[in-house]
Amino acid sequence: MRNGVHSWHLFKQVANFNLFKQYKILSLSRTYSAIMISSTRCTFLGNTGLGGCGNFHGGQRRSCGPWRVTCMSPSNDRNGSVVNVMETPLKEIKKEHVEVEVVEDVDDNPISGGGPRDVYGEDKATEDHFVTPWSVSVASGYTLLRDPHFNKGLAFTEKERDAHYLRGLLPPTVIPQETQVKKMIQHIRQYQVPLQRYTAMMDLQERNERLFYKLLIEHVEELLPIVYTPTVGEACQKYGDIFMRPQGLYISLKEKGRILEVLRNWPEKNIQVIVVTDGERILGLGDLGCQGMGIPVGKLSLYTALGGVRPSACLPITIDVGTNNEKLLNDELYIGLKQRRAVGQEYSELLHEFMTAVKQTYGEKVLIQFEDFANHNAFDLLEKYRSTHLVFNDDIQGTASVVLAGLVAALKLVGGNLADHRFLFLGAGEAGTGIAELIALETSKQTNLPLEEVRKNIWLVDSKGLIVRSRKESLQHFKKPWAHEHEPVKNLLDAVNKIKPTVLIGTSGQGRTFTKEVIEAMASINEKPIILSLSNPTSQSECTAEEAYKWSKGRAIFASGSPFPPVEYNGKVFTPGQANNAYIFPGFGLGLIMSGTIRVHDDLLLAASEALAAQVSEENFEKGLIFPPFTNIRKISAHIAAKVAAKAYELGLATRLPQPKDLVKFAESCMYTPAYRTYR
């Protein structure tokens, strides 16, 4: 087969020929031996192998540099957008293979729109003349520098600059990735406002993906509060102001009936993790509607940086069903649907269509993580789909797992088992009831007592006071298991004095609710009170680290949801721990992926908690920490992934067989590393 005809067949496999054949081939020549379609003068199937491409002979293709699909306007200028060149005469192709309408000149007029010749069709594109924005090429030259997946900036070697047409597009200096990291961290640190740092990090992610993750991994303790809580909360509040480029999929009520089509618009096809939100309960900030996209984007950045899930396998999604936030509805910069939230059947149908489409598009083993749904939807969605999909709610299950790990570790400081302690929660929503249930499950497992019995040591306070049996009829279904026999108690301080808990946990989303009187009461009851102030962001934390240590006279074992700096009290420095979900969900997700797990079982969450608690060292305990430092987070994630995978194999939920002998090493080998690749 002649090269020109063979190349034509190859092109038809790359592009959608049914669409392509509707448009006119713009120029034909016998000068070269293959089709050339490029925005950077790079031969796609050429014998010359330009732009790092290999030659095509007899159906064989050498491996090439980075391949991308880009879009632009067609042109009959060889130096411009689309140039089609083939060796075989057009009549022969038309006769033997395809029908092609020949147009010798699509624009006889050299002057268009009152200016120079309109090479790119920019003038006529605004009129009735339609253009087809398409191009297929090896990423090279100017295009390569603007592709975040392959761009390396000044780290391109001399050889790569020659092979990929980068001469003159970069300064002459070649610097390694390590130097780029040093430069970028200095750049980030020059900003004093956290939101400016967040914007700078997101801009880097859009320019150079591998450098972004390299920077985040090497400076994780410093940058985690920027790309995640607490700064991501402010970013969501101002998302309409800082929104520049789409970072995920937006599925709104407008797409009802077409969600499968929308999912197929996403360029990556091998998706392993989806983080989805409807924006109704973003952190402790409430309904932020479509602007909640910052949460899935941030979570998936951590899936890659901390858990090693490759970025191309991650998909952030916001489901926009409207918002009840009046401020957003009246904001001209708001990017979502300006209508009240859909509820009832309309909401359920949209979510069910979404869940069905995800499974149809990405298969049985794609992990769907629900994020920041309101209580009335979060529990129902988890319960409805946990038996048919691989679903995980980070607010209910992830928070529970990380808090349970902290409590198990804290027992080494205070003594006893979980069954020996009494727990009091301020907050009875997703996080509070989720943590309570996992504590009960672990206690039941340790003592062989029924769940109903061990739940009696766990008490919850909501906005109306202590949850007791006399209130049971008016309670939401997820609160009813915690309605114990007791007289009504209206406020937290009275509940502390009546229940006499050894552990106080805040998940209320209400700042400064652990008052001086409450913490002093805890300290009077316990030699070492365990106080966990978990609400995010920092402004919503039930108390600060300084308040907890000062009011307990330095005796509290403290951890929070948002980070707090070290505290000095009576000459001793206390380092507060952070009960951050980022300890759990990246490693947990990696464990599910590497084992091919098809359903999330509660025992997998317990396994993750045990693995995290085991990573707390004696040195950490001496500083008052009940969680390990984030500097070793990828190692921690590998151990969590191994424990989760082992439990999945034990329960028969894993599908990747045979089971690897060393699951920790296997987890480490599965992790994405952001080091630059070498291009041919």
Catalytic residues: 228, 299
Length of the chain: 680
CA 412 to CA 615: how far, in whole Å? 13
Burial of 389 (0-12, 13-18, 19+ CB in 10 A): buried
Reference 505, options 529, 478, 524; nearest CA is: 529
CA 233 to CA 621: how far, in whole Å? 30
Those residues with Cβ within 8 angstroms of residue 78's Cβ, 6 or more apart along the chain or in another chain: 27, 41
Alpha helices in 146-193 (DSSP H): 158-163, 177-189
Report whether 257 contacts 352 (CB < 8 A). no
Tokens of 151: 């761009």
The strand ranges marked E within 167-238 are none
Examine residue 488 and say whether the peptide bond preceding it is cis (omega within 30 degrees of 0). Answer: no
CA 398 to CA 605: how far, in whole Å? 8
**The dihedral sign for the CA sequence 160, 165, 171, 177:** negative
Burial of 556 (0-12, 13-18, 19+ CB in 10 A): buried
Reference 496, options 528, 525, 469, 472; nearest CA is: 525
Q: Rounded to whole angstroms, what are the CA distances from 478 to 20, 429, 432, 441?
A: 55, 8, 10, 15
Q: Rounded to whole angstroms, what are the CA distances from 38 to 19, 44, 85, 162, 363?
A: 18, 7, 11, 17, 34
CA 276 to CA 364: how far, in whole Å? 17
Query: Element (H or E) spanning 418, and its range?
Result: none
- Nearest-Å Rg of the Cα atoms of the chain is 29
SS3 category, 35: coil
43, HSE (Cβ side, Cα atoms, 13 Å): 19
Q: Nearest 5°: phi and psi at 114?
A: 80, 5
SS3 category, 568: strand
Burial of 309 (0-12, 13-18, 19+ CB in 10 A): buried
For strand 557-560 and strand 465-466, is the pairing parallel, antiparallel, or unpaired? unpaired
